[in-house]
Amino acid sequence: MDGSISEPVKTKRSRPVLVADEIKEWVVKKDLKSGDKLPNESEMIDLFGVSKGTVREALRILEAQGLISTKTGPGGGSIVAKVSVERTRALLANYFYFQDLSIADIYQMRKVLEPELAASLAGKLSKEQLSQLKQLVDKYPQPSKSAEEEREQHIASLAFHQKLSEFGENKLLGFIIGFMAQILTDLTLYKRLYEPPNVKLWQEGREHQLKLLEVLQDGNSEKARKVMQSHMLIAEALMHKQEAEIVRRFIAE
């Protein structure tokens, strides 16, 4: 398991890191797939000629990166794991803990990516998928009365985009859009509420989502793009009210 993305050569890699690399190589060489078993601890001790502690540190490294998971007991041991989207998001968010990311930055991307996703999904969604989206829109059919209620509606709206991002064929596009929706959701969860609900903006947002579902079903790709573009402008306006600090929290593994 190494190669593709070239990392700068480390001069003095510690033994656990080296063992972790060996395990990755071993997995790639044997072409193990998600779910396949790795040798157990004592076998690795023999295999790599290191102590138990070193093997365990190597396994923790791989686990932290989401590449393996480990179970105790008979039939236990470590298996190759698919890196989960949740962990990947967390890892990526850790990077941005040290960068300055603003709401404006996120919306600069959303404004081009979300319409692209919408366009590529037009006419491609199943009945089941469309109804899942409809449910999210219908969760809060009435304008919110309180700031607290508006928060919940905003989160539901982001869940709509999150869901949409899962339906596309392009996994990279889906991941990035989902990542941004996650950041905005967490931001909304923690934000202080001081603004009164903006009924007009909300109304427009909801109408956009309904309209979007319609054109997605019709299969009108360019219309879908347009509707999503307008929708993003509304969403940006709603979000900019809270020119909050962003991603200034550290992330769990």
Partner DNA sequence: TAAGATTTGTTCGTATGTATC
Partner DNA sequence: GGATACATACGAACAAATCTT
Q: What residues line the site for DNA (CB under 7 A)?
A: 12, 14-16, 40-42, 49-54, 56-57, 59, 70-78
Instruction: Decide: is 233 part of the binding site for its own copies (CB under 8 A).
Output: no
Q: Which is nearer to its own copies, 102 or 129 (CB)?
A: 102
**Separation between Cα atoms, residue 99 and residue 77, nearest integer Å:** 38
Instruction: Decide: is 158 part of the binding site for its own copies (CB under 8 A).
Output: no
Instruction: Decide: is 74 part of the binding site for its own copies (CB under 8 A).
Output: no
State the minimum distance, in angstroms, from the CB of residue 17 to DNA.
Answer: 8
Q: Count Cβ atoms within 10 A of the Cβ of residue 152 and give its class: 0-12 exposed, 13-18 middle, 19 or more buried.
A: middle
Q: Which is nearer to DNA, 57 or 116 (CB)?
A: 57
Q: How far is CA 197 from CA 161, 200, 207, 238, in A?
A: 21, 9, 17, 10
State the minimum distance, in angstroms, from the CB of residue 136 to its own copies.
Answer: 18
When CB distances are held under 5 to 8 angstroms depending on the partner's kind, the choice from its own copies, DNA, none that residue 23 binds is none
CB 38 within 8 A of CB 27: yes
CB 121 within 8 A of CB 173: no
When CB distances are held under 5 to 8 angstroms depending on the partner's kind, the choice from its own copies, DNA, none that residue 28 binds is its own copies
CB 72 within 8 A of CB 234: no
State the minimum distance, in angstroms, from the CB of residue 155 to its own copies.
Answer: 12
When CB distances are held under 5 to 8 angstroms depending on the partner's kind, the choice from DNA, its own copies, none that residue 1 binds is its own copies
State the minimum distance, in angstroms, from the CB of residue 45 to DNA.
Answer: 7
User: Rule CB under 8 A: which of 42-71 touch its own copies?
Assistant: 53, 56-58, 60-67
Instruction: Decide: is 16 part of the binding site for its own copies (CB under 8 A).
Output: yes
Closest CA to 143 of 94, 207, 88: 207
State the minimum distance, in angstroms, from the CB of residue 20 to DNA.
Answer: 11
3-state secondary structure of 37: strand
Query: Using the 8-state DSSP alphabet, how is residue 134 labeled?
Result: H
State the minimum distance, in angstroms, from the CB of residue 226 to its own copies.
Answer: 15
Strands, DSSP E only, in the chain? 68-71, 77-80
Q: For residue 208, give both structure tokens.
A: 């956009």
